[in-house]
Structure 1
Amino acid sequence: MKYMTVQVVTPDGLRYDHRASFISVKTLDGETGILPDHINLIAPLDVHEMKIRRIDDENHVDWVAVNGGIIEVKNNLVTIVADSAERARDIDISRAERAKQRAERQIEEAESRANIDEVRRAQVALRRALNRISVGNK
């Protein structure tokens, strides 16, 4: 069976390292599915839910909340370098919910002051919190 090694690295170290038969990521150009023997690729990633189909069981799927970064595919090694990434099993849903509420309040406050930069930062924080909630609920 053909497979590829998938590694997710953050400033905190290696967050994920398994063999997979398929992964789905979201680049800035859209959704991309990657199978073994994929052409070499380097692309920026969006905030998204990465789906990884492991080789140990066709029904075994891991979900990882990836908050941007880059992907490199070369010789059946897929490396994701991200500011932060969390596996579904590691996500604290209540903490993510609090981050979501905090971001929503920051958006309202920044909009009332017409501070576009603060609005954009809070919108990014909201997208990340929603991504973590979605992955954590899988």
Structure 2
Amino acid sequence: MSLTLRVLAPDKSVFDGNAEEIILPSTTGLLGILPGHISMVTAIDTGVLRVLNKGKWDSIALMGGFAEVESNEVTVLVNGAELGSSINSTNAEADLEEAKNKFNQLEGEPNSPEKLQAQESLNRARARFQATKDQ
């Protein structure tokens, strides 16, 4: 028995295939999904979705959204997503360092709009970089 996974962003279908196991970055922590999982809906955080298929793990960087699990079908609707295999790891690492520097420059400004935006940019850059590490 396997799962059917669909990852949909506003502009494209990022993934549509089978999986043996899925690990979702929910807003309350990592959530493992196996065949026969109970039906549910959960909010997705910016992070890395991991997919086990034929004994190999693949990664997809997600930029927040929702996931629905029902009858061995998992549908993930997100604001943005990229397959880890399509991300240039050198560029992703450079983007992560740049985002860290911008965030650190705003250390003295707690809860300012600029700092919140820098935190979101850092989260996105970290997710993209982490997704390249499993490839």
Instruction: Within 5 Å, give how 1:98-137 maps onto structure 2.
Output: 98-111=94-107, 116-137=112-133
Structure 2 gap segments, 5+ residues each: none
Task: Indicate conservation of the 8 Å contact 2:7/2:15, yes or no.
Answer: yes
User: Of residues 63, 66, 86 in structure 2, which corresponds to 1:90?
Assistant: 86
Residue in structure 1 matched with residue 11 of structure 2 by the alignment: 12
- Call closer, same or farther: CA 1:19–1:117 in 2, change over 3 Å: same
TM-score, normalised to structure 2, is 0.87
TM-score, normalised to structure 1, is 0.86
Residue in structure 1 matched with residue 42 of structure 2 by the alignment: 43
Deviation at 1:115, TM superposition (A): 7.1
Q: Percent identity?
A: 29
- Call closer, same or farther: CA 1:113–1:47 in 2, change over 3 Å: closer
Instruction: Within 5 Å, give how 1:46-61 maps onto structure 2.
Output: 46-54=45-53, 57=54, 59-61=55-57
- Which amino acid in the other structure matches residue 74 of structure 1? E
- Call closer, same or farther: CA 1:120–1:4 in 2, change over 3 Å: same
* Structure 1 position 74 matched with structure 2 position 93: no
2:66 and 2:15 map into 1 onto residues whose CA distance is 15
Deviation at 1:41, TM superposition (A): 0.8
2:66 aligned counterpart, secondary structure = strand
Structure 1 gap segments, 5+ residues each: none
1:127 aligned counterpart, secondary structure = helix
Aligned length: 134
Deviation at 1:113, TM superposition (A): 6.5
1:116 and 1:98 map into 2 onto residues whose CA distance is 25
